[in-house]
């Protein structure tokens, strides 16, 4: 019997850089939410570990041997002797190298599917260990719920009960390499910038108050990403020109940007307008939670 799970897009509503460790890893604080759509992953258990990739954005997903789905499965197999694996089928719908955590969400979905196939509890510590071994964003994608992630991405705050946020996600069709964006920050190793990101108890629980609070925060990766890929700035300006938009910001290391709206209807109209004006762009309306 196949197991199926979804891998929703991850959105960084905020992303503050708090410093850089001596080993080169940047220290972050980010309020993360998830979209109502993403990739889909299926597992056919009881066979050798394998992966097939299909879907609208499969061609840009890179070599299958390097896919994080396989890396996650191998990481969990190292934690769980005798793990039952099998063939994964990944349907890619999210843009690649887009700041949406698509690969990390796929890897987290693989861990959840393997947990179900092997009778592991959702909060089994070995799932978290395998997620950490796979990638920085994989742990937060395991439960795909709103929360603040800190440090290198492995320090997760408690789940947050945020209101659904009507939004538009827009990708201008250019990949942005995360390593290049962080390099452009030019923060020397061993630098402690300090934290100015609000803690969980300062994140408002109403939509209007939350959006107002977000306007005073930022994504520190947006300026270097815009310098490396001017298309990011073009997308931000296009979303900012849509009717009813309340906040526009880049997600992750780019190039996807998001706009927040008062109502789902405003978001749907904005997405349709953006697709019509920019046929080569990827634009979707959704609810962020």
Q: Which residues are part of a known binding site? A: 95-105
Q: What is the DSSP string of the chain?
A: --EEEEEEEEEES-BEEEEE-TTSPEEEEEEEEEEEEEEEEEEEESS--EEEEESTTGGGS--GGG-HHHHHHHHHHHHSTT---EEEEEE--SPSSSSS-HHHHHHHHHHHHHHHHHT--TT-HHHHHHHHHH-TTHHHHHHT--EEEEETTTEE-----PPPEEEEEEE-S----HHHHHHHH-PPTTEE----S--GGGS-SSHHHHHHHHHT--BTTHHHHHHH-HHHHHHHHHHHTSTTEEEEEE-TTSS-EEEEESSHHHHHHHHHHHHHH-TTSEEEEEEE-
Known catalytic residues are 10, 137
Q: Which residues are part of a known binding site for ATP? A: 95-105
């Amino acid at each position: 019997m196949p197991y199926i799970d979804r891998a929703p897009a991850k959105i960084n509503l905020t992303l503050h850089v708090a410093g850089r460790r001596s080993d080169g890893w940047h220290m972050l604080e980010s309020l993360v939410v998830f979209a109502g759509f993403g990739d889909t992953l299926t597992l056919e258990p009881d066979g050798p570990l394998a992966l097939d990739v299909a879907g609208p954005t499969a061609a840009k997903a890179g070599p299958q041997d390097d896919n994080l789905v396989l890396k996650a499965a191998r990481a969990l197999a190292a934690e769980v002797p005798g793990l039952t694996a099998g063939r994964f089928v990944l349907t890619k719908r999210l843009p690649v190298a887009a700041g949406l955590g698509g690969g990390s969400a796929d890897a987290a979905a693989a861990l959840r599917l393997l947990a179900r196939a092997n009778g592991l509890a959702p909060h089994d510590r070995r799932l978290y260990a395998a997620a950490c071994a796979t990638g920085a964003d994989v742990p937060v994608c395991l439960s795909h719920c709103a929360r603040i992630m800190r440090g290198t991405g492995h320090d997760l705050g408690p789940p947050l009960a945020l209101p659904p946020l009507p939004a538009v996600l827009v990708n201008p069709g250019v990949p942005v390499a995360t390593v290049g964006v962080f390099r452009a920050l030019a923060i020397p190793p061993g630098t402690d910038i300090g934290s100015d990101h609000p803690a969980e108890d300062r994140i408002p629980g109403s939509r209007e108050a939350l959006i107002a609070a977000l306007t005073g925060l930022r994504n520190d990766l947006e300026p270097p990403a815009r310098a490396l890929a001017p298309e990011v700035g073009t997308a931000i300006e296009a979303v900012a020109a849509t009717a009813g938009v309340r906040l526009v910001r880049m997600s992750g290391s780019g190039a996807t940007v998001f706009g927040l709206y008062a109502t789902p209807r405003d978001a749907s109209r904005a997405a349709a307008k953006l697709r019509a004006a920019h046929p080569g762009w990827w634009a979707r309306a959704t609810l962020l939670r």
